[in-house]
Amino acid sequence: MVPDKIQVKKMVPDKIFKGKKEEFIFFIAFFIALSFFIYQHKFFSWDLAVYTLNAMSVYDGFFFEWIRPPLTPFILAIFEIFGTNLAQYAYIVFCTLLYFVSLKLFHDKFLKDIKNSEFFYLFSINPFILIFGVAIGTELLSLSLLILFFTFCFSKKSFLFLGLSMLCRYSNIPLLFLVLFSKNIKKIFAGLFIIFLTLLPWLLINFIFTGHALTSLGNYYALNSLEQPSPIFEISLSLLFSHFLLIANISLPFLILGVLFKIKQYKGGCENKGGCENKGGCENKGECENKGGCENKGAYEKEIKNKKTKEERDLSILFFSLTILTFLSYLFSPDVIKQPRFLFNLFLPISYFSVFGLNFLLSLKNENLKKFLFFTILLLLLFSSLSSFIIMEDSGKGVINEYGMVETIIAQMDNNCTLSSDLWVYFNWQNKKAVPPPKELNLTETKEPEIFKMVDEGYNILLFKNSESFFANEKFIEEIKEKNKKYIIEDNDKYIWLHREDKCKYTENINETYIDSLKRFGEFSENFTGCDALFVKFKLNEICKYLTFL
């Protein structure tokens, strides 16, 4: 039976923060993150612009990319009632708030009784998190949903959060395997069913507008896997190592020490050897007895301790599984599209274990040296996060120049013909309709590269000279120049712009799928769908002929 004192104590609501130190660091971290995200928004973001254009299509917009997962556009569409510019700022604030709420909930469940646990918030504003968190639109939102999945692990709401994370980033779909760790057959089936229900509205929208439920996911896979060269394992390993070092950066030494500490802890007989804090019930005791427990510890405290120990072990196993799944997804993705942000999900275990690494460093007996280390690490983490402003200011100059150049070109245009450009999203963002640049592949019907047909149809072909699209089409442009009587050509050191004077192509809506855009080159057959794309590598695409709704 639980003692009356404990019962009374549990009835008293806990404070939001365990102390002034946690409260101070939490709000400092939140202020730095939000300030940076708002500052960063002055730089044009290609991906965030696409998600916003997808959101605007709900309100009669003209641009929609089917390869994009739907959660970010859905949230932006809600905020769109305030206007497009305010909608993006509202989305940034929403993602930041959700991130810190999820961090707080995770902290209170797994780290609250750990000494110096408030550093978890500082490790969670690693410069890489700040720079890529909302710049691309999905990373911070996806990470927040995964943190909530781990916080409420294997409850009904946790499966909802995992499903939503898949609707935020399709690369999270392999994390479906984490459901199997619930170790309960009923929970596994319940979890899979809840995730399916979470995905179902998007599958129905795909079916209603395209006739196939897997259009978006299949086109995403076709772009990022089918149409890319297979990865080279040796190159993938070296890239993985360098990218992991890049994302961990200042947290790396704390992470290594933290992992080693937890391994040693699990092997030892006494939790947190050297101190009875963090055991869920060993109060007011400096050291653990050789018996492996604290004196005068009642059954209630012992039960709490065992429960917390089991939670910590289960969490570590889940983190290990998350790491393996993330690494495997990275290694098997084509080398040409590998980016450090594909490891973004690892920030939760990095921040978690870094807290234990920090405590290992601060386990010195010399109090003066301990205080010096404490404030040195605190300042180091703060300055590291603040350095993101300098990094962004330097790297964002090229984006500002591109955006300004596009504005100037639009002002000079005297026709309303649809553009074909390597910066097509920039133009669409400024309400000048544009489609992707011509491919160097030969069209099936003409046996010639696409640029010849597009210019003859009346597109404004505008290619920037530092782009891959320009180099791919350069020799074809030279052929077109020879027929310059029919064409208006502007050729300067930055771009080439050519179009026919007597024809003008005007596109009402830009929503062609990636797979359909390649059918005219014979890359895919006319009846090839997103379902085929997902199953063709496994030679199971025959199923798509029978389940035509897929």
How many whole angstroms separate alpha carbon 112 and alpha carbon 277? 11
pLDDT value, residue 66: 96
Q: What is the pLDDT of residue 103?
A: 97
How many Å separate Cα 30 from the centre of its chain? Answer: 19
Instruction: Tell whether the torsion through CA atoms of 2, 4, 5 and 6 is positive or negative.
Output: positive
Amino acid at 268: G
Paired with 461 in beta bridges are: 420, 498
Q: Report yes or no on 64 lying in a domain.
A: yes
In this predicted structure, what is the pLDDT of residue 253?
A: 93
Walk along the chain (550 residues) and give the pLDDT tens digit of each residue.
444 444 444 444 458 888 899 999 999 999 999 999 999 999 999 999 999 999 999 998 899 999 999 999 999 999 999 999 999 999 999 999 999 999 999 999 999 989 999 999 999 999 999 999 999 889 999 999 999 999 998 889 999 999 999 999 999 999 999 999 888 899 999 999 999 999 999 999 999 999 999 999 999 999 998 888 877 777 788 888 999 999 999 999 999 999 998 888 777 644 443 333 444 333 444 444 444 444 455 665 566 666 667 778 888 899 999 999 999 988 888 877 888 888 999 999 999 999 999 999 988 888 888 889 999 999 999 999 999 999 998 888 888 888 888 998 998 888 889 999 999 999 999 999 999 999 888 898 888 999 999 998 999 999 999 888 999 888 888 888 877 777 888 888 899 998 888 889 999 899 999 999 999 999 999 999 999 999 998 888 889 989 989 9
Q: Tell whether 157 is covered by a domain.
A: yes
State the residue range of the domain holding 478.
417-505
Q: Is residue 524 part of a domain?
A: no
* Separation of alpha carbons 144 and 168, rounded Å: 11
Residues 470 and 350 in one domain: no
pLDDT of residue 307: 66
Query: Are 80 and 222 in the same domain?
Result: yes
Q: Say what the pLDDT of residue 296 is.
A: 52
Domain-located, residue 53: yes
Same domain, 322 and 196: yes
Q: Are residues 338 and 435 in the same domain?
A: no
122 and 261 belong to one structural domain:
yes
The DSSP line for 440-496 is SSBPTTTSSBHHHHHHHHT-EEEEETTSHHHHHHHHHHHHHHTTTTSEEEEE-SSEE
**What CA–CA distance (Å, rounded) separates 523 from 105?**
48
Final residue before a domain boundary, out of 350, 365, 395: 395
- Asked whether residue 352 falls in the same domain as residue 461, the answer is no
**Does 276 fall in a domain?**
yes
Alpha-carbon dihedral sign for residues 393, 395, 401, 403: negative
Determine the pLDDT at residue 98.
97
Structure token digits, residue 436: 């992707």
| Cα gap 479→15, rounded to integer Å | 74
Residues 214 and 269 in one domain: yes
**pTM of the predicted protein model:** 0.88
Chain centre distance of CA 198: 19
Are residues 102 and 28 located together in one domain of the fold?
Answer: yes
Q: Are residues 176 and 43 in the same domain?
A: yes
Task: Report yes or no on 403 lying in a domain.
Answer: no
- Domain contains 407: no
Is 316 domain-assigned? yes
Say if residue 72 is in the same domain as residue 124.
Answer: yes
Q: CA 429 → CA 6, 266, 435, distances in Å?
A: 60, 54, 12
Q: What is the pLDDT of residue 150?
A: 95
Angle at 426 between CA 425 and CA 427, to 5 degrees: 90
Which one-letter DSSP state was computed for residue 415?
-
Instruction: Report residue 51 CA to chain centroid gap.
Output: 13
458 in the same domain as 323: no
DSSP code of 271?
Answer: T
* pLDDT of the residue at 218: 95
Q: What is the pLDDT of residue 303?
A: 62
Looking at the structure, tell me whether residues 348 and 436 fall in a common domain.
no
H/E stretch holding 93 reads helix 84-110
Total number of domains in the chain: 2
Q: Which residue has the tokens 């750990």?
A: 114
